[in-house]
Structure 1
C-alpha cells in the first residue's frame, strides 16, 4: 500500500514498482480525490489527512481488508505520522524512527551541508528588515522563498525583488 500515492513521490514510487514487476497489487490512498487519479493503482482509496486522529486506524483497516504486506508512506508528513506509530502499524514498513525523519527543511539543509553535500545557499528571513540583506548576501537574487516544513515544495515562490518576498511573508507568516 502506498499512502499519499497521488503526489509526485507516490506516483513515481508506484511507477517504479510497476516497472520492476507487474505482479504487485497496489492499493493507494490519498486525501485528495483528484490527485488519487494520477497513480497507476489497482485500487484507489480516499483517506483522511495524516493529521486526522483516525489516520492510523484507517490504514490498519485497509491492511487487514486487502492483506497488505508492505506499507510505503508518501509524502514526508505522512511518513512521519506512520513512523511515530510504528508499534501500531499492522504490516511491514521500511521507515526510520521519527527523529530521523526531519520535517524542518532548514535542518535538513544543515545536515546535508555538514556531510559535504552541496546545497543551495540558505538564509532565514524572520522579519521584513532582513529581506534586503538576504538579497545582498545571496548575490542579488532571484531567491527561492519557501516554508521550512511541508512536502512538495510547500509554499515555494521564486522572488525577483524585496517586494515579492514581503508580499509572500504577509500572506504566509
Structure 2
C-alpha cells in the first residue's frame, strides 16, 4: 500500500488528485490534512487530521507529529502557500525518509512572485505584458500613462485571480488598492485578452520533460460575479495542440529554471495580435482541473507519484499533447464534472439555430 499525505485535502484540486490516483490503482491510502474543519470533513481521504494554517508557527511541528504517527511514503499539496511551506521543510522530510517531488526552492520563490517571473521572462526575450510593481500611486500613474486604459491590476502573489481588476481609470485603481492596503504587493500590467487563455501543464524529471498537455479555458465559472471576470475557477476547458504554445511554454519554464524538476503549469493569455504571453507558472502542483486529463486517458498525478516513489519516467511516443484535441471538461458547483467533446457541445447550438431558423421562416399568427 502506498501512503500519501496530502495537505489542503478538502479542496477541489486535492480531490482531483486523489480521484486520479484511485482511478490508476487501488493501493493508494490518503492521509488528508486541512486547516479548515469543514473542508477536512468533506475530503475523500482515508484518514483525516486538522492542522494549523501554513502561516502558523505551529504548522511544522503539528505536521511532523502527524507524519511520525501515520508514516506516509510521500507528501504532496495542491496549494501555492503550502508548496512554499513544504519546500522549506525538505530537510525534515529527508530525515524522516518521506518522498516529495518539488522544484528547487529558489524556482518556487520566483514562480510564486508574478513580478519576479515577469522579470525573468523579459530578460529571456519572451513577449510579456509590460508590468509595473506598485509601491506608490506614482507607479500606478506611470502605468496608466504608459499602457493607456484599462490597466490590469492584480496582487503579486496568490491564486484564483486574487485582487485582479481591469481598471478603467487611475482613480478606480487607486481606490481598489487603497481598500486592500495593497501598496507594495500589487502590480499593474498592460491589458491582454482575459477571454483567451491556455495552460500548458507539464512534468519534468531532472531537467528532462516527461509529458505535457495543453488546455484552453473556455470560460470562468462565476465570472459574472467577479469585478475582473476572473475567478480562478475553470467552468469548461478543451484540449488543444499548438506548436507555438508548446515552444513558448518551454521557453517560459527554462527562463526560470534551466533544469526543471517537478510540476510546471504555465498560464498564458493572448495579446491583441494573437501571441500567447506567459502570465504565471503554477509551480509544484497541478492546476485545479487536472482530473480532466486523467479521465481523458493521461493520468499525470499517477505518473508524478510513481516517479516520486522511485519509479522510472514512462515513455511517450508523443510526450507533448498526447491527448486528442477538442475534448471538453465541464464543471461547476454541486454537480459532477462532465467529459465530452467540442463537437457534442456545439451540436446544442446547431439544434437551437435550426429551431430559430424555423421560427424565423414561420409567420406568427
TM-score scaled by structure 1? Answer: 0.79
2-side partners of 1:45 and 1:92: how far apart? 20
2:38 alignment counterpart:
34
Structure 1 or 2: more helix by fraction: 1
Deviation of 1:36 after TM superposition, in Å, equals 3.4
Q: 1:61 aligns with which of 41, 61, 65?
A: 65
Structure 1 or 2: more strand by fraction: 2
Q: 2:101 aligns with which of 91, 94, 100?
A: 94
Q: Please report the RMSD computed on the Cα atoms of aligned residues, expressed in angstroms.
A: 2.7
In the alignment, is the contact (CA less than 8 A) between 1:71 and 1:92 conserved in 2?
yes
In structure 2, list runs of 5 or more residues that go unmatched: 183-365
Q: How many residues align?
A: 172
2:119 alignment counterpart:
110
Alignment partner of 1:79 is 2:83: yes
In the alignment, is the contact (CA less than 8 A) between 1:30 and 1:47 conserved in 2?
yes
1-side partners of 2:78 and 2:57: how far apart? 18
In the alignment, is the contact (CA less than 8 A) between 2:10 and 2:44 conserved in 1?
no
Compare 69-78 and 125-134 and name the one that shifted more.
Answer: 125-134
Query: How is 1:124-135 mapped onto 2 (pairs within 5 angstroms)?
Result: 124-135=133-144
Alignment partner of 1:145 is 2:153: yes
- C-alpha distance 5-163 of structure 1, shift in aligned 2 (>3 A): farther
1-side partners of 2:115 and 2:52: how far apart? 28
**Which aligned runs of 4 or more in structure 1 are off by greater than 6 angstroms?**
none
Q: 1:164 aligns with which of 160, 163, 172?
A: 172
Deviation of 1:136 after TM superposition, in Å, equals 4.0
2-side partners of 1:6 and 1:81: how far apart? 18
1-side partners of 2:107 and 2:155: how far apart? 20
2-side partners of 1:2 and 1:94: how far apart? 13
Alignment partner of 1:43 is 2:47: yes
In structure 1, list runs of 5 or more residues that go unmatched: none
Alignment partner of 1:122 is 2:126: no
1-side partners of 2:16 and 2:149: how far apart? 35
- C-alpha distance 81-136 of structure 1, shift in aligned 2 (>3 A): same
TM-score scaled by structure 2? Answer: 0.41
1-side partners of 2:71 and 2:13: how far apart? 23
